[in-house]
Amino acid sequence: MSLTIDTELIHFEASNFEEHLDIINNHKIIFSGKFGKGKSVFLNEFFKKQEKYLMSGEIKYNPVFINPIAYSISSNQDILKYIKYDILMELLLNKNVEMEVLDFDTTEVAFNYFKENKRDTIIEVLKELIGYIPKLGKDLKATLSVLKEQFDKLEDYRNKVNLSSEDETIDDFFNSILGSTKSVYEKDVVTKIIEDKLNKISKDNDAKSVLIIDDIDRLDPEHIFRILNVFSSQFSEYTNNYTYNKFSFDKIIIVCDIKNIRSIFHHKYGKETDFDGYINKFYSREIFYYANYEKINAFIKDKLFDLKIKSERNQLNTYGRFTQEIGLMPLVQTLVNYDLLTLRNICNVSDKKFNLYENIRYSINPFPEKYSFFFTEYKILISLFGNYNDLVNSIKRLSILNAPMKNHFTHFRNILFYLTHTIHKFSNEKFSITYQLNDTEVILHLEPAANGITLTSNLPSSSLRGENGVSLQKSQFPQVHHYYEVLIKLIDMIESLK
């Protein structure tokens, strides 16, 4: 399932990004965000529906997306070709450009070269272009259809031209240049094609051309900086002390996680190596950080609340209608905010149906139905991570970081209630239990109530507001890492019941 992000989340970030794009002379941009936070989805939506997300309500940009993963292991010389052909393919497939509108100063010379063996020569050029299709991951059928259409138009256009007599010197010149696999002239021709196409599209639409280089995160660490260096050499041109982008792109956006790139850089070249001095050449003003935690948390809440919970009679309810027992919602939000879980993981489970009484699937089942919903919450967590080890290791990581989590106090107390089930056995009488956690004693008080058991403890109930609105307890206990510790104990208990 592909990642989808609601329009509210995109709207909120769109205004910030538009403001960043509009900074004067901001020609090179780094768009940074953690993997799985929805960077690619946001950028695709932002540029695809500009009338919806831009303040002006108009189209201001002509985007071209390329992905360097397909050619990351190639030689630098081949990468230069792949970049240009990738851009050219995007223009042919998505921008409806027509080859007959090219405006070379040497057009008549080029046709003079093609006069004797026009079809063979053109076909050879197209063959080379077609050869890059599988390497760039393009759709072969769609691309061939476009190329055939362009070839036919080019032939029609040529037939209208009254060619002059053959000039052997020019023919020899073209043969020697175009026949070379390392042709500099070939590079100039393709660059000229791209520049002309972009200039015409921008002029027709009164919009700026933007190149988006996506998925730098997914490159093998061994190739990241080599690819970045190739891009840098191709897209930075200098004239009269003024820097501009090659191929006539008004803006070039590199999409990555700058924190991850920094870490890889220092691992590869040493902690004392100047990363800032290296990375500064890839952006003009400042790095744009895609990190809207408030809206992301709201997005997570909506997705989890809408999860389908199925009863024994196949009646469907949503997760939001049930009382959270072990802190699933704030836990998932914290895991995402600390980059231990992605929005993509959450979207991947949004279509699944979970059983209300998940505990009946266990061979040992000491829990009454009314006290068994945490089994369903555990099943959701396992589905998000895929396996026990990844889930527990991520929770351990939160514990080490002492990562703040909303209302951890309440959920800590609930988990202790389940961990002590062999003592109280969900009794209908008043009950007090002492639970030893490290050097601290926690006393749980259970009292029968009309709808079950009322649970209190000797722990404080008042709270303060901490950073980012996270609830903080006045007492030093339980600290949030205590919650993570007992949660892991609960998970292990559930696993032991299988």
Higher pLDDT, 445 or 471: 445
For residue 310, give the H/E element and its range: strand 308-310
* Token couple for 144: 């061939």
The mean pLDDT value for 107-134 works out to: 51
Distance CA 181, CA 75 (A): 14
Query: Residue written as tokens 């992301």?
Result: 296
Query: Mean pLDDT lowest for which of 40-54, 127-141, 221-235?
Result: 127-141
Higher pLDDT, 275 or 366: 275
* Token couple for 160: 């209208």
Higher pLDDT, 124 or 114: 124
Cβ atoms of residues 255 and 216 within 8 Å: yes
SS3 (DSSP) at 182: coil
Q: Give CA 200 to chain center in angstroms.
A: 31
The pLDDT of residue 28 is above 80: yes
The pLDDT of residue 473 is above 50: no
Cβ atoms of residues 296 and 303 within 8 Å: no
Taking residue 367's Cβ as centre, other Cβ atoms within 10 Å add up to 20
Q: Which residues pair with 239 in a beta bridge?
A: 242
Burial class of 57 by CB neighbour count within 10 A (0 to 12, 13 to 18, 19+): exposed
The string of pLDDT tens digits covering residues 164-190 is 433 444 445 445 444 444 444 444 566
Percent of the chain topping pLDDT 70: 69
| 109 phi and psi angles, rounded to 5 deg | -70, -40
Cβ atoms of residues 378 and 438 within 8 Å: no
Higher pLDDT, 223 or 236: 223
The pLDDT of residue 192 is above 70: yes
pLDDT value of position 414: 87
Cβ atoms of residues 72 and 222 within 8 Å: no
The mean pLDDT value for 343-355 works out to: 87
Higher pLDDT, 436 or 178: 436
The pLDDT of residue 100 is above 50: no
pLDDT confidence of 253, banded at 50, 70, 90? Answer: very high
Query: Mean pLDDT lowest for which of 126-140, 153-167, 185-199, 480-494?
Result: 153-167
The pLDDT of residue 442 is above 60: yes
Long-range contacts of 22-26 (CB under 8 A, 24+ apart): 23/284, 23/285, 25/284, 25/285, 26/251, 26/284, 26/285
pLDDT confidence of 486, banded at 50, 70, 90? Answer: very high
pLDDT value of position 102: 41
Helix axes 388-401, 328-337, angle to 10 degrees: 80
The string of pLDDT tens digits covering residues 76-89 is 667 777 787 788 87
pLDDT value of position 334: 93
pLDDT value of position 115: 45
Percent of the chain topping pLDDT 90: 20
pLDDT value of position 389: 96
Distance CA 364, CA 377 (A): 18
Higher pLDDT, 33 or 134: 33
Higher pLDDT, 23 or 474: 23
pLDDT value of position 332: 94
Please compute Rg for the chain using Cα positions: 30
- Kindly state the DSSP code that residue 132 receives in the 8-state scheme: T
Taking residue 286's Cβ as centre, other Cβ atoms within 10 Å add up to 11
pLDDT confidence of 330, banded at 50, 70, 90? Answer: very high
Cα–Cα distances in angstroms (integers) from residue 71 to residues 174, 220, 224, 226, 370, in the given order: 29, 11, 12, 12, 56
Higher pLDDT, 481 or 162: 481
pLDDT confidence of 476, banded at 50, 70, 90? Answer: low
Is the C-alpha dihedral spanning 411, 486, 397, 352 positive or negative? negative
Quick one: CA torsion of 264, 338, 12, 94, rounded to 10 degrees?
40
> Is residue 63 reached through a cis peptide bond, with omega within 30 degrees of 0 on the bond before it?
no
The pLDDT of residue 109 is above 70: no
Q: Give CA 273 to chain center in angstroms.
A: 28
Mean pLDDT of the chain: 75
Distance CA 93, CA 287 (A): 31
Cβ atoms of residues 255 and 43 within 8 Å: yes
The pLDDT of residue 131 is above 70: no
Higher pLDDT, 257 or 174: 257
pLDDT value of position 254: 94
pLDDT value of position 165: 39
Cβ atoms of residues 219 and 69 within 8 Å: yes
Is the C-alpha dihedral spanning 446, 449, 455, 457 positive or negative? negative
pLDDT value of position 468: 38
Burial class of 110 by CB neighbour count within 10 A (0 to 12, 13 to 18, 19+): middle
Distance CA 404, CA 467 (A): 9
Q: Which of 44, 48, 56 is nearest to 18 (CA)?
A: 56
Taking residue 466's Cβ as centre, other Cβ atoms within 10 Å add up to 12
